[in-house]
Amino acid sequence: MQDEIRPIPLRQLIEPWIILRLLNRETVEYLELRDSIADKGFLNSICVRPAQKPGFYEVVDGLYRWTAAKELELRVVPCIVKFNLTDDDVVALQIQANAIRPETTPIEFARQLGRIIEARPKITLAQLQAIVHKSPAWIGRILKLRDLSPRNQKRLERGELPVDNATRLALIPYRHQPHFASLAMTMPQDEFRVLTSAYLKRYREAAIRGTLDVAELNDFTPVPFCRSVKELQRELATCDVGAVVTVECSSLEAWKRCLQWMIHLDAESIGVQKERFRERTYTALITRKEDTPDNPFLPQHLDPCLLSPVSES
């Protein structure tokens, strides 16, 4: 079915199923857009697709324009209606739309890819590549930026940290990144690569000898992700887990434990995640080679436990 260009009542538009670029209403970019729409109207239509709810449309691209229209209390907005778009198509269109915007920083792309992985925990590298239409090397380098501490992520956003050095800095164990941050901001790329390679080599050797304390590595943070529908249906029929987790506790605590089990944040699931994190972190450190375009440091299965950002104390 061909695209349609037509005005749609604002009340019939709903937000997209996944938002890859978070909206900040205090930025100059947003305020200028809102003022422009108030003064001159829309210069570009909002891209939408039919929603599951009859008569409604989901925003695919144009979150800023849609939000500004709501603030301005507009009744109707111009839209391009695209039919037969899958969820993967929506993600791809958002990635492509953000790619041509100069204000989209590498760390924003890293967060965008992270949100895709969190929404689809079992996604493979090949599937992610097909969605975003980027090379494995590009995906690997961008995702690695999520291992930067929040402070270094802000430095990268402000342009204080070169992207190449930021990628190298992200390879450094989280607790030791502060020692290298100032050098990453000032040292030439080749020199910083030599420095970090020597440092990582020492850590790999310590890991092989078994003398490296796990505390020296990145902090572990459990990652919530929903259980499959089959698991939930099986539990609904048998109540095997419920019979265990609801023993000797209040109704509120029982409800909390059930929710934790549903999103893999119960004690058993966290223990599994932590053990996998420890084993795979050691393995990655021992077997790590120099990062080249052909070796982006990504397994074919993108484990969300390894890709989740750590928190900065």
Q: Does 189 share its domain with 292?
A: yes
Q: Does a structural domain hold residue 176?
A: yes
Q: Does 169 share its domain with 299?
A: yes
Bridge partners, residue 79, by sequence: 6, 46
| Per-residue pLDDT tens digits of the chain, which is 313 residues long | 789 999 999 999 998 877 766 677 877 778 888 999 999 899 889 999 999 889 999 999 888 899 999 999 999 999 999 998 888 788 777 777 766 555 567 887 887 788 778 777 788 888 887 777 778 888 888 888 988 888 898 888 888 898 889 999 998 877 788 888 889 999 998 899 988 888 888 877 777 776 665 555 556 778 888 888 888 999 999 988 888 888 888 888 999 999 999 998 998 998 888 887 777 666 665 555 444 433 333 333 333 333 333 334 3
State residue 185's pLDDT score: 92
State residue 49's pLDDT score: 94
Which helix (H) or strand (E) segment holds residue 278: the answer is helix 267-287
Kindly compute the dihedral angle of the four CA atoms of residues 9, 15, 17, 20, in this order, to the nearest 10 degrees.
130
Bridge partners, residue 76, by sequence: 9
What total of structural domains would you count in the chain?
Answer: 3
Q: Does 258 share its domain with 279?
A: no
Q: How many whole angstroms separate alpha carbon 265 and alpha carbon 213?
A: 25
Q: Does a structural domain hold residue 109?
A: no
Q: Give the 3-state DSSP-derived string for 193-259, with helices as H, strands as E and coil as C.
A: HHHHHHHHHHHHHHHHHCCCCHHHCCCCCCCCCCCCHHHHHHHHHHCHHHHHHCCCCCHHHHHHHHH
Q: Does 202 share its domain with 287?
A: yes
Q: How many whole angstroms separate alpha carbon 20 and alpha carbon 173?
A: 27
Inter-CA distances, 192 with 170, 186, 189, 196, 205, Å: 12, 9, 5, 6, 20
Q: Does a structural domain hold residue 130?
A: yes
Give the pairing of strands 13-14 and 46-50. Answer: unpaired
Dmax of the chain from CA atoms?
67
What's the domain range around 250? 229-262
Q: Does 169 share its domain with 253?
A: no
Q: Does 74 share its domain with 152?
A: no
Q: Which of 104, 139, 172 is the last residue of a domain?
A: 104
State residue 88's pLDDT score: 77
- pTM, two decimals, is 0.48
State residue 134's pLDDT score: 77
Q: Does a structural domain hold residue 97?
A: yes
State residue 297's pLDDT score: 36
Q: Does a structural domain hold residue 95?
A: yes
Q: How many whole angstroms separate alpha carbon 302 and alpha carbon 240?
A: 30
Q: Does a structural domain hold residue 312?
A: no
CB atoms within 10 A of CB 184: 27
Q: Does a structural domain hold residue 168?
A: yes
Q: What is the CATH number of the domain that holds 45?
A: 3.90.1530.10
Q: Does 199 share its domain with 141?
A: yes
Q: Does 187 share its domain with 50?
A: no
Q: Does a structural domain hold residue 114?
A: no
Inter-CA distances, 211 with 129, 146, 267, 282, 292, Å: 37, 27, 28, 11, 28
Q: Does 21 share its domain with 130?
A: no
Q: Which of 104, 136, 163 is the last residue of a domain?
A: 104
State residue 101's pLDDT score: 58
Which helix (H) or strand (E) segment holds residue 275: the answer is helix 267-287
